[in-house]
Amino acid sequence: TVTPQQIIIDTDPGIDDAMAIFYALASPELDVIGLTTVFGNAHTTTCTQNALRLLEIAGRPDIPVAEGAHRPLAMDYRGPADFVHGIDGQGNLDLPAPETSAIAQDAAHFIVERVMAAPGRITLCPIGPLTNIALALLLEPRLADNLAGIVLMGGNAFGGGNASPAAEANILNDPDAADIVFGAHCPIVMAGLDVTEATFITGEQLERIGTVDNPRARHAAAILPFYREFNQREAGRDGIYVHDSTVISYLLAPQHYRSVQMPIRVDCGHGVGRGKTWPAIDRHRRGAWERRPDVTILTEVDAPAVVALELGRLGLSR
Ligand code: BDR
Ligand code: CA
């Protein structure tokens, strides 16, 4: 047997975050050693409650949750994406309060402590704004050297944004943090809209989740209709884009993705391009891109293969 890969999921749950967390917990190849929370889809305190509830639903209340930043590094929080995920981040389900609580340590300190205690072992999996990861990198300059890597959902290298014409939501929620993270000298994989908007679960597949009899699938089936309606309005297609779960699919099955290696800078200005992730080809690796590390930017995906993998892990046989 292979030792499972240790991951920390940094999250703003979020309907697709819930799917990604359940997917990771259902995958024996991965050992989720903690969840850290951040604002984004909802306020940080709401996201923390959701993270705790999701672990209870999945039967894993033993996994620690560390609450993170309440606001971006250098701007005000843009506010909840209630039209995407509901005001509670979980499709307006009005869930009961969790029985467990977050640990006393904050997210950045938790990340630093765990990573430094297991050099080269832990992969960070951010699926929300990158504030906690930036704070952890600033707190401990040796953090990047001690990480196995970072596999994140965010950005748009070669296409348009979803939160603005220029930017993807996680990056637009804290561009300064994202620019720090993309400058970290450790293996970084960017699963951005380039691949997440190429991965689609159809309405018919979503309905079948409702037929699966396990607590994770039941919760997923309860929250997904809200997200499905948003996607229907936004994309004009019945189903959902698979954003956050792409991080888990990549960890489990990197062979289903194609990528390029380029450094990334984030537009931290206050003009129309704010939050855009700009890759540079070698000829342009100058100025702001000079001495910036290569990022593995996912560009293509075998979507049917990764959707089948995820639905299988959630309990659907085909
Ligand atoms: C990202 O933004 C959030 O709404 C989702 O949870 C995902 O992390 C997609 O742009
Ligand atoms: Ca998210």
Residue 318, pLDDT > 70, answer no
Q: Assess whether 12 carries a catalytic annotation.
A: yes
Q: Residue 34: which pLDDT band, with cuts at 50, 70 and 90?
A: very high
17 lines ligand 1 (CB under 6 A): yes
Query: What average pLDDT does this structure show over 29-39?
Result: 98
169 lines ligand 1 (CB under 6 A): yes
pLDDT at site 316: 76
Q: Could you read off the pLDDT of 160-204 as tens digits, one per residue?
A: 999 999 999 999 999 999 999 999 999 999 999 999 999 999 999
Q: How far apart are CA 217 and CA 211, in angstroms?
A: 8
pLDDT at site 72: 98
pLDDT at site 2: 81
Q: Could you read off the pLDDT of 223-271 as tens digits, one per residue?
A: 999 999 999 998 899 999 999 999 999 999 999 999 999 999 999 999 9
pLDDT at site 315: 86
Q: Percent of the chain having pLDDT more than 70?
A: 99
pTM over 0.95: yes
Atom 4 (ligand 1) nearest CA:
41
Residue 96, pLDDT > 90, answer yes
84 lines ligand 1 (CB under 6 A): yes
194 lines ligand 1 (CB under 6 A): no
Residue 218, pLDDT > 80, answer yes
Q: What is the DSSP string of the chain?
A: -PPPEEEEEEE---HHHHHHHHHHHT-TTEEEEEEEE-SSSS-HHHHHHHHHHHHHHTT-TTS-EEE--SS-SSS------HHHH-TTSSTT--PPPPSS---SS-HHHHHHHHHHHSTTTEEEEE-S-SHHHHHHHHH-TTHHHH-SEEEEE---SSS--SSSSS--HHHHT-HHHHHHHTT-SS-EEEE-HHHHTT-EEEHHHHHHHTT--SHHHHHHHHHHHHHHHHHHHHHSSSEEE--THHHHHHHH-GGGEEEEEE-EEE--SSSTTTT-EEE--GGG--GGGTTPPPEEEEEEE-HHHHHHHHHHHTT---
Average per-residue pLDDT in the chain?
97
To test the pocket of ligand 1, the residue of 78, 153, 234, 245 to mutate (highest count of ligand atoms within 8 Å of its CB) is 153
Q: Residue 107: which pLDDT band, with cuts at 50, 70 and 90?
A: very high
Query: What average pLDDT does this structure show over 15-39?
Result: 98
Q: Percent of the chain having pLDDT more than 90?
A: 97
Residue 285, pLDDT > 90, answer yes
Residue 20, pLDDT > 80, answer yes
Q: Residue 103: which pLDDT band, with cuts at 50, 70 and 90?
A: very high
pLDDT at site 317: 60
pLDDT at site 21: 98
Q: Residue 302 C-alpha to ligand 1 middle, in angstroms?
A: 21
Q: How far apart are CA 128 and CA 130, in angstroms?
A: 6
